[in-house]
Structure 1
Amino acid sequence: MSRDTSKIILFDVDGTLTAARKVIEPDMVTFLENLMHKYPVGLVGGSDLAKIEEQMGGRDRLNMFDFVFAENGLVALANGEIIAKESIQKFMGEDKIQELINFSLGYLSGVKLPRKRGTFIEFRNGMLNICPIGRSCTYEERGEFSEFDKQHGIRTTMVDALRKEFTKDGLVFSIGGQISIDAFPTGWDKTYCLRFVEKDFKEIYFFGDKTYKGGNDHEIFEDSRTKGFTVVSPEDTKKQVCQLFGIE
């Protein structure tokens, strides 16, 4: 059977191909390798390239994908080679970046959580990642915060405050992963990556877990150029892909 290059299948990483911040499981690797014999496949992650590489189990594993879009596509790879790179620092300027950082740290200083750790703001190439608990938390603490956040809406409330404060600055704030908020210029959500594939493929499929409004998969899920599907786990991803494409 020849490869159908009229379609491309794009996957979110956390919660879609892997458990949150965990390395991909061997059975998922096998599943994707088999899928890539049939269709081109790409990754679309909000994390930076180093984190996605870690979750995929190394650079060689990462390079097996036709496309890898780190930071929503601000860092774009095709067949293992970087084809484009954009910088939020260059786009926003230092004054506005510091204004956003200072407001976020001030806001977080007044938030009471079961526990706080360190690295509350992570400066990425294409976004600022704001984390109420701190990205240096353990995996168990990450899960604890996630459950606390579901009950108390910590991130949702902070997103509302950020949007109110930076209404006129052309910034988007969305809930990403289990523990953080992504801040980036308008249009730099996951739809950014579509510019690299929309001309070469007749159909673009996207699978992600945070497709709800405010989630970082929402914009690409709803985009008219994609056929979007909501998943709840890596196992659900495999099940839906198999059903949709008739794979046994």
Structure 2
Amino acid sequence: MSLLQGDEELDPAGVADLRRDYRSWHQRARQVLPADAVKKFDEHRDGSLFKTGISQFLGEPRKESVIRAEDGTFPMGRWQHPFNNVRSRLEQQRNLLLEAAPEESPSERVAADLAAVLRRLPEFLRVLQQRRPDWSVGEAIRDERELQVVVEALLRTLFDDVRPEDYVPSRGGANSRVDFVLPEVGVVVETKMTRASMSAQKLGEELFIDAGRYPAHPDCDAILAYVYDPDRLLNNPRGIERDLTMRTTSGLTFLCVIS
């Protein structure tokens, strides 16, 4: 946001993306705040008669101040909505979230660390492909089953107890499988591989279903969904990650990482 009042020429598309990202973040943040904090949170977005709100700044980041001297200078500063005023509002929004945030569990910390490792999986495969092309393990992963083999091998270097294809208790008369369970740390790992027939909406629907059924597993305190997208079929992977990373209705953390 601070760059919007810098020396560079404004990129209208970039500004539009920033507005959209802020609105999306604001809506997600409101969902984890208690009712008394939501009002304060919204006030920082909307502003007041005497102090610029975040939405006003994003709407007109380069609106020049109406207070101008006869020589054309701006004695009170050039911008009508200076970012320095907005910065304090952003910091106060952050503080409201920190006060409301539940304490991170050990399982959540493990899931977050594992997500960082899996995000680097393509780099691991790239080195194998370049240095030892004669090794079949270095070849491109062709389907979800091969992806599961590679992920299981990686998990076994990090955890003593890795249980593949475990079952979630019956729902509606049918058992559902989860890809991997790490009972010593209370984490379930689900793997997905994109394909031409899988849209971003379809992927989201599948993972939302997963988020609802995994808490039934007795060894599940956190869920990590790893999506491998080697052909870059997803146009906005970071946005999908943000939308799908959430706290489920049962209180568990559901993390999504795409690489």
Larger-gyration structure (1/2):
2
Bigger proportion of residues as helix: 2
What range describes the TM-score normalised by the shorter chain of this pair? under 0.3
Structure-1-length-normalised TM-score = 0.25
Bigger proportion of residues as strand: 1
Structure-2-length-normalised TM-score = 0.24
Greater relative contact order (Cα < 8 A, sep 6+): 1
